[in-house]
Amino acid sequence: MEFSSSSLYLFIFTFFIYSVLVDLVIARGGEGEHSFNHSGSVDHSHGRHLFGETPPSVDLSHGYMSNTELEKAMKQFAHKCSAISRLYSIGKSVNGVNLWVLEISDNPGIEEPEPAFKFIGNVHGDEPVGRELLMHLANWLCNNYMTDPLATLIIKNVHLHILPTMNPDGYSLKKRGNANNIDLNRDFPDQFFSVNNDLGLRQPETKAIMSWLKKIHFTASATLHGGALVANFPWDGSENQKKVYYACPDDTTFRHMASVYSRSHYNMSLSKEFNEGITNGAAWYPIYGGMQDWNYIHAGCFELTLEISENKWPNSTELLTLWEYNRMSMLNLVASLVKTGVHGRILSTECGQPLPASVIIKGINYTVKAGDVFGDYHRLLAPGEHYEVTVAMPGYESKTTHILVEDEAMSLDFVLDPEGLQKRKQVRTDCSSSYQVELWGWTMMEVLFLAMVILAFFCVLFKRKTIFHKQRQSVVAQKRAVIV
């Protein structure tokens, strides 16, 4: 077949237009979740790739649990591991799907002076790996309780809450947003912009999370996402909306938490895109209305955003491998709540009742509150640092001490005195009868304190002859200290 010169020119012009359009499509794709090079691998040359929708060309959900199957698996787990778990719902999605949570603890459903941690998966509907890995985590803990030291440590000392899917509707629709097409990780009140401050405009899934955190005081948290491989920490946005490192008050502690996850991961810390496999959110790509920053500001909860798979929806045959890659990271992050930082209780000298006092660290503009029931606090801090700790409570005299947080947790209790004689009498009047027992005009607390002093005196006398013949051991980090 022969071509005329005009046909040849038309062919060249058509090919040129086609090439331009292809280039535009590729450039547009770079603004989404990921762009791909010609070999099919992920191209990380763009910023924070969190906005693309999964192409519906194939059934990517094959091998993944449906919402119905996930609910069934959670109910089966709660039955199989009933001694260490309970199943409850925090609300429903737009389409009425229950947001089921598994609590794993040696005393599930019972408030204790222990830290609480939550894992949330599937915030974005097209990022389902987290929901699968969280069920693997639950089953591993159940199967290894009382045989594996790490599983036993977590179950005995932490209340772990697992929400495998925050966005079941988005998962069913295979799209990022919920059934109302709202990105749930842009739907929380934000410190820099007031657009999300009207609670009535929030999505039901968002409201469920906010109500959940009013009921349970979580010490720390992590959400599982897909599309990259990095541990992200606050702040997620900056005041001027620029892509710049924007540190929160606990930046050092958050860097430590992110590093715990990254270093325990199979290859996250080896990232060529993110130094040590961690990143400040605003430095990566600023977002607003995110759940991570809201947790830290409004709920006293230290939350990380974990990108655990470069492919948002990998083939289901890869799920076991991804679980093995992330298993130790997930376990070590939860265990870090009790293996590092400073923990203790705050009590009154008058009656011994718990005080919901504030724990203040000099140089860190962030306050942690002790619990109402037990007066327990759990202050996450980066190890290897000296800290000045102050405990304050209205109506009581503040107390301050200096500590060195090493590689293990420190236990530090505070006993606060009421301010002034009149307030002391008032507090004594308000105490329960169990604290008002008196002996020869002395309260039971005073008698016990005197007995402890006498006992300590005789112990010193008894050990006096041997104390000079052996070297004193250094104080271990987990030894309990009391500031009175």
Q: Are residues 226 and 372 in the same domain?
A: no
Tell me what pLDDT residue 199 has.
87
Query: Residue 259 belongs to what H/E stretch?
Result: helix 251-264
- Specify the number of domains making up the chain: 2
Low-confidence residues of the chain: pLDDT under 70: 1-58, 421-480
Where are the strands (E) in 365-458, listed by range?
Answer: 367-369, 376-379, 385-392, 399-405, 410-416, 438-439, 442-443
Q: Are residues 299 and 409 in the same domain?
A: no
Last residue of a domain, one of 423, 442, 469: 423
Picking from 366, 367, 357, the residue whose alpha carbon sits closest to that of residue 413 is: 357
Q: Are residues 275 and 405 in the same domain?
A: no
In a domain, 360, yes or no: yes
In a domain, 36, yes or no: no
In a domain, 57, yes or no: no
Tens digits of residue pLDDT in 98-146: 999 999 999 999 999 999 999 999 999 999 999 999 999 999 999 999 9
Range of the domain at 332: 67-339
Tens digits of residue pLDDT in 427-474: 555 554 443 434 444 555 565 666 666 666 666 555 544 433 333 333
Q: Are residues 319 and 376 in the same domain?
A: no
Tell me what pLDDT residue 420 has.
78
Q: Are residues 291 and 154 in the same domain?
A: yes
**Per-residue tokens: 359:** 């724990």
Query: What's the CATH code of the domain at 363?
Result: 2.60.40.1120
Picking from 55, 434, 120, 51, the residue whose alpha carbon sits closest to that of residue 308 is: 120
Separation of alpha carbons 388 and 13, rounded Å: 73
In a domain, 117, yes or no: yes
Q: Are residues 253 and 392 in the same domain?
A: no
In a domain, 56, yes or no: no
Query: Scanning the structure block, which residue is given the tokens 């948002």?
Result: 312
Tell me what pLDDT residue 350 has.
87
Q: Are residues 240 and 389 in the same domain?
A: no
Q: Which residues pair with 348 in a beta bridge?
A: 416
In a domain, 445, yes or no: no
Last residue of a domain, one of 289, 312, 339: 339
Q: Are residues 321 and 349 in the same domain?
A: no
Task: Count the residues in the chain.
Answer: 484
Last residue of a domain, one of 339, 370, 398: 339
Tell me what pLDDT residue 426 has.
57
Q: By the 8 A CB rule, do 84 and 145 touch?
A: yes
Query: What's the CATH code of the domain at 285?
Result: 3.40.630.10
Q: Are residues 185 and 259 in the same domain?
A: yes
- Classify 275 as helix, strand or coil: helix
Active site positions, annotated: 307
Angle between helices 319-339 and 149-157 (to 10 degrees): 60
In a domain, 123, yes or no: yes
In a domain, 430, yes or no: no
Q: Are residues 260 and 368 in the same domain?
A: no
Q: Are residues 305 and 356 in the same domain?
A: no
Q: Are residues 227 and 371 in the same domain?
A: no
Tell me what pLDDT residue 184 has.
98
